[in-house]
A and B are shown apart, each in its own frame.
Chain A
Amino acid sequence: MKSKSRLLSAPYTLWTVLFIVIPMLLVVWFAFTDKSGNFTLENILSVGQYSNVFLRSIWLGAVATAVSLLLGYPLAYIIAKMNGKRQGVMVMLVMLPMWMNFLLRTYAWMSLLEDNGLINALFVNLGLPRLHMINTAGAVVLGMVYNYIPYMILPLYSILTKIDPSVIEAAQDLGASDRKVFLKVIVPMSMPGVISGITMVFVPAVSTFIISKMLGGGANLLIGDLIDMQFLGSAYNPNLGSAISLVLMVIILICMGIMDQFDDGESTGGGVML
């Protein structure tokens, strides 16, 4: 039995080693070496000068995650309460934007938000002053929320539909008004979904580079852009790029570790990223 299951898992193990473990080790290797391959701490130490980029990334990622949660939770709750057929349609509508290419979606926002874009054209036609929207932090957050909110809604929706209606009836039966039922039963029971939703929005939002590049302009440089520059851009320096990636990974792991503390230690599928 055991050897059989080992045989079955061999391709996966091979894949994992080839494309996950080895590249990770390479990142570590590059982070701690210089151009000629000698050991050095210089790369890691020089990450410090980009602390403002790190802070901005974490701040914008956190804002986008919070906005996604605030917008996504009520929607997930409403969908979960619908009858079966409408639920399916609504879930499909939530996923619909994801069927279109990520770049295309972000381009679309660019042309909407531009100083001479569609929204401003509308404003001018209505006799309103133009609004500068592109190349602001707000535009970056908007892009993050727009692109990642399905990853917030789906885990929330799936956990909310799994709550046994008789548990909600039991709470009402014991004297809980609708508000109390929500606060004392539905919210705590949906925590694993909240945590995986936060993880699935926060992690890609923090490390994004396309969104900030297209909607944020030069003033809203994020870690992703910084890493991009080290590998593909003008500042070509893979060693520094690896060091930044490593630090980002450690920061994300710490954030997720903190998040998991809120999960009551109950392993109900939360904190998927760990």
Chain B
Amino acid sequence: MKLKDTIISLKDIAVSYDGEQVLKNFNLDIRDGEFVTLLGPSGCGKTTVLRTIGGFVTPDAGEVFFNGKNITNLPPYKREVNTIFQKYALFPHLNVYDNIAFGMRLKKKSEREVKETVHKMLAMVNLSGYSHRGVGQLSGGQQQRVAIARALANEPKILLLDEPLGALDLKLRKDMQVELKKIQQQTGITFIFVTHDQEEALSMSDTVVVMDGGVIQQIGTPTDIYNEPKNAFVADFIGESNILDGVMLEDYRVRFAGHEFACLDKGFGTRTPVDVVIRPEDIDVVEAASTHIIGEVTAVTFKGVHYEIIVDVAGFKWMIQSTDCRQVGDKIGLSLTPDDIHVMAKSEYSGTFGDYSTFSDEMEEDISASEEASEEGGEDDEI
């Protein structure tokens, strides 16, 4: 993608709610025309970033720049930014047509122009013929489309999307992901998308911003984020990871799990403690005799595309994704090539994640988190 100018720039933003610091010294630049996703667990401050850009939160300190102009104290209605709200926030007293026309009428556009744009927008979101429906009669997916049409009819420079797909069921959500991406490419508008769903973030974005505790953990393309996570938090939050304690012996040589391995990482110095990430799908299952890492299968779960196998290697539980089925109790060998090994510097998150021995606890956490999410926004299938 061609690099364009920065459209939004957040400088040293600090925000607190009721004395609780949500963002501190927060800096972020977003380029024009990008699809940027703010990804993180609930409470990480991603929605606050979005609301700061939208003008609904005035930061305690710091500045917001739009095309180089300071807009920190500009009220929302004067910003060339529109928002898709989590629960769509359609006007219940207006029909579909009047909802979409709302912004244009405020700008005193002629009714002819309004009509033309409304029909163009309805066609774009596949709702032609719905103009005169009341918004209460629409399904969640349709309301979502009306919200998109209403925001885009205003011709914003930036579209902010606050977990817009959270309340939709899985299939509809997948369709909307594709549709949103298509709309973004057609219109060329900068999309800033907030989600806690890592798969959504990876499949839609040009750039992913991973956040935790009000701090950016990593910014990069989806492939960068997945393949080269910067710390244990990112590695754990994006996809499944085996995170092991290791020592970087020298460039391209790392020691972990009791053995020395060749790797592709360098620049950590010599004999430096590091975290080593190995993705479950990168591990090859081989005969026990032919490799260094040997363990016993403790659990096997069928996942459709693959089996999820938990292997106990000297007390550390590895997760492996394999298309070959293994039985619980089998002794198997794990084989790694240098390409499979990713080395990260130690961080505050080291030791927090990694082993799959507490897998069931983690599952429980996931389930309660998804229940929480569905309480907020209707049905919610956590992946």
Interface positions of A (Cβ within 8 A of B): 164, 166-167, 169-177, 180, 184-185, 188-189, 191, 264, 266
Instruction: Check B154 against A164 for contact (C-beta < 8 Å).
Output: no
Note all chain A residues with C-beta closer than 8 A to B213.
none
Q: List 18 A-B contacts (CB under 8 A).
A: A164-B87, A169-B89, A170-B91, A171-B102, A172-B55, A173-B54, A173-B83, A174-B77, A174-B102, A174-B103, A174-B150, A175-B103, A175-B106, A180-B77, A180-B106, A189-B92, A191-B93, A266-B93
Q: Which of A166, A169, A173, A188 has the most CB of B within 10 A?
A: A173
Q: Does B82 contact A (CB under 8 A)?
A: yes
Interface positions of B (Cβ within 8 A of A): 54-56, 75-78, 81-83, 85-87, 89-93, 102-103, 106-107, 134, 150-151, 154
Known contacts A167-B90, A184-B106, then 13 further A-B pairs from the complex at CB < 8 Å, ordered by chain A residue: A170-B83, A170-B85, A170-B91, A174-B106, A175-B77, A175-B103, A176-B106, A177-B77, A180-B106, A185-B91, A185-B93, A189-B91, A264-B93
Q: CB-nearest residue of chain A relative to B56?
A: A169
Neighbour of A169 across the interface among B76, B93, B103, B151, CB < 8 A? B76
Instruction: Check A166 against B87 for contact (C-beta < 8 Å).
Output: yes
Instruction: Check B56 against A167 for contact (C-beta < 8 Å).
Output: no
Q: Which of A167, A174, A180, A188 has the most CB of B within 10 A?
A: A174
| Dominant secondary structure of chain A at its interface with chain B | helix
Instruction: Check A169 against B92 for contact (C-beta < 8 Å).
Output: no
Q: CB-nearest residue of chain A relative to B162?
A: A166
Q: CB-nearest residue of chain B relative to A188?
A: B93
Neighbour of A167 across the interface among B82, B92, B154, CB < 8 A? B92
Return the 9 tightest CB-CB contacts between A and B, nearest first. A174-B103, A170-B89, A166-B89, A172-B76, A175-B106, A188-B93, A173-B83, A167-B89, A172-B77
Note all chain B residues with C-beta closer than 8 A to A189.
91-93
Q: How many residue pairs bridge A and B at CB < 8 Å?
A: 67
Note all chain B residues with C-beta closer than 8 A to A169.
56, 76, 83, 85, 89
Q: CB-nearest residue of chain A relative to B136?
A: A266
Task: Report the bound CA distance from A169 to B83 in whole Å.
Answer: 9
Q: CB-nearest residue of chain B relative to A265?
A: B134
Note all chain A residues with C-beta closer than 8 A to B150.
174
Note all chain A residues with C-beta closer than 8 A to B102.
171, 174, 176, 184
Q: CB-nearest residue of chain B relative to A185?
A: B91
Task: Report the bound CA distance from A177 to B154 in whole Å.
Answer: 15
Distance (whole angstroms) from the CB of B132 to the closest CB of chain A:
13
Note all chain A residues with C-beta closer than 8 A to B106.
174-176, 180, 184
Task: Report the bound CA distance from A196 to B151 in whole Å.
Answer: 34
Task: Report the bound CA distance from A166 to B134 in whole Å.
Answer: 19
Note all chain B residues with C-beta closer than 8 A to A170.
83, 85, 89-91
Task: Report the bound CA distance from A185 to B106 in whole Å.
Answer: 12
Task: Report the bound CA distance from A191 to B83 in whole Å.
Answer: 27
Note all chain A residues with C-beta closer than 8 A to B107.
175
Note all chain A residues with C-beta closer than 8 A to B154.
174-175
Note all chain B residues with C-beta closer than 8 A to A176.
77, 102, 106
Task: Report the bound CA distance from A136 to B280 in whole Å.
Answer: 88
Task: Report the bound CA distance from A172 to B85 in whole Å.
Answer: 12
Note all chain A residues with C-beta closer than 8 A to B55.
172
Distance (whole angstroms) from the CB of A184 to the closest CB of chain B:
7
Q: CB-nearest residue of chain B relative to A166?
A: B89
Note all chain A residues with C-beta closer than 8 A to B93.
185, 188-189, 191, 264, 266
Distance (whole angstroms) from the CB of A178 to the closest CB of chain B:
8
Instruction: Check A173 against B87 for contact (C-beta < 8 Å).
Output: no
Instruction: Check A173 against B92 for contact (C-beta < 8 Å).
Output: no
